[in-house]
């Protein structure tokens, strides 16, 4: 999927774009901020742009073939200590 529209969550696993886990693969300075290549927990490659308007995912691929999907933690698992 290639898009210039920001989305709130990964369309493949539903994980929020601003949430963890995502792994920064590389970061590149631009005139207005920086561009990051990241990988979502489900394996989807993402391009994030950070500038005066905030950080947003502007492009993403599907998960890698054979990648195990990431599971969103439920409220109970986050509260266990």
State both tokens at 71.
């599971």
**Distance of alpha carbon 60 from alpha carbon 64, whole angstroms:** 12
pLDDT at 69: 57
Q: What is the pLDDT of residues 30-41, one digit of tens each?
A: 999 999 999 988
pTM of the model: 0.65
pLDDT at 68: 60
Instruction: Round the average pLDDT of the chain to a whole number and report it.
Output: 77
**Distance of alpha carbon 40 from alpha carbon 12, whole angstroms:** 10
Confidence class of residue 81 from pLDDT cuts 50, 70 and 90?
Answer: very low
Confidence class of residue 28 from pLDDT cuts 50, 70 and 90?
Answer: very high
């Amino acid at each position: 999927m290639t898009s210039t529209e920001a989305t709130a969550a990964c369309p493949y696993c539903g994980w929020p774009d601003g949430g963890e886990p995502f792994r920064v693969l590389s970061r590149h300075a631009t005139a207005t901020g920086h561009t990051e290549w990241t990988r979502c927990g489900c394996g989807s490659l993402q391009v994030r742009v950070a500038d005066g308007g905030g950080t947003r995912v502007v492009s993403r691929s599907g998960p890698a073939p054979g990648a195990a999907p990431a599971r969103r933690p439920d409220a109970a698992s986050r509260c266990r200590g």
